[in-house]
Amino acid sequence: MKERLLEFLRVENKSSAQLAEEIGVQASGISHILSGRNNPSLDFVLKMLEKYQFLSTDWLLFGKGPMYADSKMHTLFDYNLAENRENTVVRTKDEDIRHETDSQDDLKRRADNSSVHPEDNPTSEVVKIVWFFGDNSFEEFEPRK
């Protein structure tokens, strides 16, 4: 499992310290697994599978099949996901591509509702900031309360 954990870290572009923080384990525990000193505990495996629900259990435990539960890992910018949803509007540059079941009224209603700005509501506060990078990765920031 050490090799699969290393592959997961490489593919997800994460450090072992990031993984430890995200799943709530000690960084030294992951270091011991990666060095071969310890085998991962059931608790460790369950925490990984709970946090990263897109991971294939068979792959993580036994090395069988693809890494991701879905054979194709979707990214935030994968517009093919829209094909699986009813009434989805995908915005590309200046034009709308719409599913066949969308009516012009649906499109107008959605467009009217989609332009919500924080300044429209003076009591709103920033709860999360997300940065999206060109490699389809992202980072989240939540201000302290």
Output the pLDDT for position 129: 86
* pTM to 2 decimal places: 0.50
Output the pLDDT for position 113: 57
- pLDDT for 126 beyond 90: no
Q: What CA–CA distance (Å, rounded) separates 57 from 65?
A: 10
What average pLDDT does this structure show over 40-50?
93
Output the pLDDT for position 6: 93
Output the pLDDT for position 83: 46
- pLDDT for 142 beyond 90: no
Output the pLDDT for position 81: 46
Residue range(s) of every CATH 1.10.260.40 domain in the chain: 2-62
Output the pLDDT for position 103: 57
Task: Answer yes or no: are the C-beta atoms of 78 and 54 closer than 8 Å.
Answer: no
The architecture that CATH gives domain 2-62 is Orthogonal Bundle (1.10)
Output the pLDDT for position 92: 46
- Three-state DSSP at 143 gives coil
Spatial CA neighbour of 27 closest among 44, 50, 2:
44
Take residue 117 and report the two structure tokens written for it.
Answer: 């700005």
pLDDT per residue over 1-41, tens digit each? 899 999 999 999 999 999 999 999 999 999 999 999 999 99
pLDDT per residue over 56-100, tens digit each? 999 999 999 999 887 555 556 655 444 444 444 444 444 444 444
Q: What CA–CA distance (Å, rounded) separates 2 from 100?
A: 47
